[in-house]
Amino acid sequence: MATDEVWKLPAIVNRFLSSRAAIPLAQEQIGIMISILGSSETPIQNFLDLGCGDGILGAAILGAYPSARGVLADFSEPMLDQARLQLKDYAGQLVFKNLDYGETDWINSMKPHGLFDAVVSGYSIHHQPDVRKRPIYEEIFSLLEPGGWFINIEHIAAESKLAIDLFNKHIIDSWYDMEKKNGGTKTRQEVADTFMNRPDKDSNILLSVSIQCEWLREIGYEEVDCYFRVYELAVFGGRRPN
């Protein structure tokens, strides 16, 4: 099984979804995504959530733009089932697509639904090898309307050991708090062992945010920046010029 295929396993899906709240400043990251989209001259009408998981980013966009149409794309059927469930109130406006954006032909299946005035992605593209990340950013560029935004809320490589250590400590502390709240009996050390040996860890291929922003500029995106960063997490992206 390729390392990223663990996301097709229901147990991994359930563990990620139940622990997503432990991600440092997760709500703020989504808030920044919405603020960036709010800078567009016209409201978001058509979006793509790539590697959508349970559709949390799409849900935030629909909260801000209730009449938007959207495509929720993921290669994990258990995740897509969760997305269908979470977004059932918007079913008539949404297309749920099982696709693997690691394969270059994924954009062909998007063409009937685009162009998009926002493509967003959360903690997903870092599962791709670095040689594939940049072409994905080019493919996304080709799916954007002029003036459309690509925003990546992403797990990135920290540039210091301290940032890595603080990131791990934050998550372990949060997981341990959740364990206690749920009446669990695991010690902090046991929680730390579970986190450090989690089965999806090998699927993370982290790259510095500065390199990724530079790629976006080279591809032709404008207003490229890392709009937020905490330890190993970043909100970065750019806009297709008008």
Ligand X SMILES: C[S@@+](CC[C@H](N)C(=O)[O-])C[C@H]1O[C@@H](n2cnc3c(N)ncnc32)[C@H](O)[C@@H]1O
Interface residues with ligand X (CB under 6 A) are 4, 7, 16, 20, 51-53, 56-57, 74-76, 79, 100-102, 122-124, 127
Q: How far is the CB of 218 from ligand X (least distance, A)?
A: 23
Q: How far is the CB of 8 from ligand X (least distance, A)?
A: 7
Question: By C-beta, is 10 or 220 nearer to ligand X?
Answer: 10
Cis amide prior to 57 (ω within 30 degrees): no
Question: By C-beta, is 188 or 204 nearer to ligand X?
Answer: 204
Q: How far is the CB of 55 from ligand X (least distance, A)?
A: 8
DSSP 50: E
Question: By C-beta, is 53 or 237 nearer to ligand X?
Answer: 53
Question: By C-beta, is 124 or 212 nearer to ligand X?
Answer: 124
Asked if 99 and 73 touch (Cβ cutoff 8 Å), the reply is yes
Asked if 225 and 236 touch (Cβ cutoff 8 Å), the reply is yes
> Beta partners for 222?
239
Q: How far is the CB of 107 from ligand X (least distance, A)?
A: 12
- Beta strand extents in the chain (DSSP E only): 46-50, 69-74, 94-98, 116-122, 144-155, 222-230, 233-239
